[in-house]
Amino acid sequence: MAATMKKAAAEDVNVTFEDQQKINKFARNTSRITELKEEIEVKKKQLQNLEDACDDIMLADDDCLMIPYQIGDVFISHSQEETQEMLEEAKVCGSLSLGDKV
């Protein structure tokens, strides 16, 4: 009896081309939303890391001559003021790109 009900239920489902297109569009949109949420979380974490770095530099001794700043895979040493400016610029760029995603 269960086999006949499954067969009957399978026969009753009739999906038109338009319905399938809507299902596909919904799946693509849902996938895109998930990707964007993950991207937003990554951007928020990067922004928090930049803020933490700014705070650490402010608390650092003025005797610290050069501070390494990572650009890509390379670390470049800059003065405390230059590094602070670069971090502030990175924070502004990060905030703008995060604003585009939200």
Write the pLDDT tens digit of every residue in 71-98: 889 999 998 889 999 999 999 998 888 7
The pLDDT of residue 95 is: 86
Q: List the structure tokens of 3.
A: 């086999």
pLDDT of residue 59: 86
Q: What integer pLDDT is reported at residue 33 of this predicted model?
A: 97
- What per-residue confidence (pLDDT) applies to 36? 95
Enumerate residue ranges in the chain where pLDDT < 50.
none
Is domain 22-101 annotated with CATH 1.10.287.370?
A: yes
Query: Do 33 and 81 contact (CB within 8 A), yes or no?
Result: no
